[in-house]
Amino acid sequence: MKNIIFIAPPAAGKGTQSDLLVKKYGYEHISTGDLLRAEVASGSEFGEEISEIMNSGRLVSDEVVTRLLENKLSTVSEPYIFDGYPRNMAQADILENLLKKLNKGECTAIYLDVPEDEATRRSTGRLSCPKCNRSYHKYNEATRPKVEGKCDDCSADLISRDDDTEETFRKRYQTYVENTSPLLDYYQDKGMLYVIHNPIDPNITLEEIETVIK
């Protein structure tokens, strides 16, 4: 199985696809957003600083995020899903060097191409489990929880993210366009990019992903 780098606007379904790939193929899901949220949840002063940046829709510094990524990488084995990293060109260089240094296998970059209005709609219906991190979507029949507000796997009360308000979402989307979308040309030029246009049904999207990771 190839390692995966997901590139997509916020709320495009990276978390949902990651959950499916973890379950079916044992991928290690490395989400820098989750690593940062764990830091925030620890209640440290550093976590508070990070929380302000995240809730403003901007990017946390490359140095902080890379440190968290490196720590995580040292505890897990391939195949990996990189969800939310790299998010700019500097991080793409860092990741390439890191994987070379660690002598890791091939990556494929998968772009979930979701238009802005659809991503906005999805962000407002997004829910996640604070215990096991599983993602849900209350407006999507395939990914809504079986019991309203409860996790299918561990029955915990589902929560929505602090940065999924419409105002913060707009800023996050703008940050994505400015900083992250240039990565599409970068990976396209390297022959590493696979595009999934307007992914709607999570199971069909998974089947498409399966054609490129095997």
Binding site for ligand AMP (CB under 6 A): 10, 32-33, 36, 53-54, 58-60, 65, 84-85, 87, 91, 163, 172
Q: Give the residue with the Cβ less far from ligand AMP, 61 or 198.
A: 61
Name the minimum Å distance from CB 57 to ligand AMP.
6
Name the minimum Å distance from CB 123 to ligand AMP.
9
Q: Give the residue with the Cβ less far from ligand AMP, 147 or 177.
A: 177
Give CA separation, 141 vs 137, 144, 145, 172, in Å: 8, 6, 9, 26
Which among 194, 186, 211 is positioned nearest to 1, based on CA atoms?
211
Name the minimum Å distance from CB 147 to ligand AMP.
25
Q: Give the residue with the Cβ less far from ligand AMP, 98 or 147.
A: 98
Q: Give the residue with the Cβ less far from ligand AMP, 2 or 58.
A: 58
Q: Give the residue with the Cβ less far from ligand AMP, 84 or 145.
A: 84
In the structure encoding, which two tokens stand for residue 165, read together? 């308000």
Closest-by-Cβ residue to ligand AMP is 33
Rounded CA separation 80/72 (Å): 11
Rounded to the nearest 10°, the torsion over CA 176, 91, 38, 167 is -10
Name the minimum Å distance from CB 168 to ligand AMP.
8
Name the minimum Å distance from CB 183 to ligand AMP.
11
Rounded CA separation 205/192 (Å): 18
Q: Name the β-bridge partners of 82.
A: 5, 30
Which among 167, 184, 187, 32 is positioned nearest to 113, based on CA atoms?
184
